[in-house]
A and B are shown apart, each in its own frame.
Chain A
């Protein structure tokens, strides 16, 4: 990708090649993550997980994807059609756009915008809009419940997330992701900002709607929450977006706290992906350890603990930055 782009030497070619690469990455990543999720969950429960198709069931998710594509798209009778059809697209597009600014290595970045981190945070919030659209238009009480929870949850975790990211930005003084990585030349920010890292991971788990904060799709109480009425490829798009969101929040955490592509011997991309998948494993580990929180518990936790702690962290960071 890198060589081809420099050969053509044009920004447009870089974008096109980049987008194709991103779409390939998104689908392969989702296929891999679903397999990984099933394996991680299985091993935590002392099971082997999928074992039949391919080596240790590695082709299983491809078969599942083919099955999903072949499935009929069922549209319930009384849905709000335009919004219902639009929701899977709205959930997927921002996910693709976010990849524009993620630096996979020194040069492997489609467009190094100077508002990179702001763009990621802005677009990832659009997921909530898509969930609201899906839940509201489905004409199903469980879907509406999922959507309502998602919106209320969004207010709870978005503030500590932004404030936590702000404390990192204060140390760097730039919104550019490559600058943030460059600033971690001597040490990773996780060493000086451990509290910020923990807060970010908690908020990221909530952002990706994963257990213990998977209230919008809480399958044991709301059937499947906001995507109850979706089937086939439309459902697959929601699924794809969820797993790609996991990749994105882990990539942002890697850039902010774990020194991005930096690492000895191995090339930058490898280090970047290793760190991202380690963080994804952490998020999966959460899922198979913690039970789902109740709604009031989540809001209490966010407003009474996450927000005060993140503000305290920001103030201390600002104070220390002024001091030294």
Chain B
């Protein structure tokens, strides 16, 4: 008889305990995000698609178009073109295309970059209407991000610029070669003179 009532009381108490849990949750704040209207900030470690780092000193990218990333990419989805502009020591990227629909987010490109020019973005909204929406032009993206951050925008070199740079480069090379040849020639004969 006592066991019977004890069972009822214990059972009833367990029911009340369950109801206490649900009412506690009922009064807690909502955790759901009303997505298109509300967005959550991603953690700094979030791995979105790779993007070019904005160098805090030069306020532009650090890409030297060495093509290490495009060579190491297992999906072969990175296209980098670069040119050497007059007055600059190193090459500079003129085109950086990332076909994100093939990307497996392995991060090898960011690992391999000798100038640490790549980082992971915080972007998680990757939906698009066509396949081409997932093709990221990094130099254009950089311009957008510079605009958003209020920094001076790095111009994307046009074909004419590249041609001019190439011509200037060729001319410089030729001049250098000539100079070297000129330096060589007299060097042979002048040894005697001087």
Contact = CB atoms under 8 A, between A and B. Distances in A.
Given A44-B25, A45-B25, A289 B18 contact: yes
A46 B31 contact: yes
A290 B12 CA distance: 12
Interface in A22-78: 40, 43-48, 51
Contact of B25 (A46, A51, A290, A309): A46
Given A285-B19, A288-B22, A290-B15, A48 B8 contact: no
A122 interface: no
Nearest to B8: A305
Nearest to B19: A289
B34 A48 contact: yes
Contacts of A44: 22, 25-26
Contact of A46 (B18, B19, B32): B32
A164 to B, nearest CB: 16
Interface residues of A, number: 16
Interface string B13-45: 001001101110110111110100000000000
B16 to A, nearest CB: 10
Contact of B26 (A43, A51, A286): A43
B32 A285 contact: no
A198 B9 CA distance: 13
A136 B12 CA distance: 36
**B interface, how many residues as a size bin?**
10 to 19
Contacts of B25: 43-46
Contacts of B32: 46-48
A45 B23 CA distance: 10
Contacts of A198: 12
Contacts of B12: 198
B9 to A, nearest CB: 11
A161 B23 CA distance: 27
Nearest to B18: A289
A252 to B, nearest CB: 22
A247 to B, nearest CB: 21
A285 B18 CA distance: 10
Contacts of A43: 25-26, 30
Contacts of B22: 44, 285, 288-289
B34 A289 contact: no
Q: Give the residue among A45, A289, A309 with the most B Cβ atoms within 10 A.
A: A289
A199 B12 CA distance: 12
A286 B22 CA distance: 9
Nearest to B33: A48
B26 A290 contact: no
A290 B18 contact: yes
A305 B31 CA distance: 40
Contacts of A289: 15, 18-19, 21-22
A40 B25 CA distance: 11
B25 to A, nearest CB: 5
Contacts of B30: 43, 46-48
Nearest to A51: B34
B12 to A, nearest CB: 8
Interface in B125-157: none
A289 B28 CA distance: 16
A43 B32 CA distance: 10
Interface in A272-300: 285-286, 288-290
Contacts of A40: 26
Interface in A183-201: 198
A289 B18 CA distance: 6
A288 B25 CA distance: 11
Contacts of B19: 285-286, 289
A69 to B, nearest CB: 29
A152 to B, nearest CB: 22
A39 B26 CA distance: 10
A285 B21 CA distance: 11
Contacts of B15: 289-290
B44 to A, nearest CB: 26
A55 to B, nearest CB: 14
A239 B117 CA distance: 62
A132 B156 CA distance: 76
A125 B193 CA distance: 128
Q: Give the residue among B21, B22, B25, B29 with the most A Cβ atoms within 10 A.
A: B22
10 contacts: A40-B26, A46-B25, A46-B28, A46-B29, A46-B30, A46-B32, A285-B19, A285-B26, A289-B18, A289-B22
Given A290-B15, A309-B8, 11 more contacts: A43-B26, A46-B28, A46-B29, A48-B32, A48-B34, A51-B34, A285-B23, A285-B26, A286-B19, A288-B22, A289-B18
Name the 3 nearest CB pairs between A and B, nearest first.
A289-B22, A46-B31, A47-B32
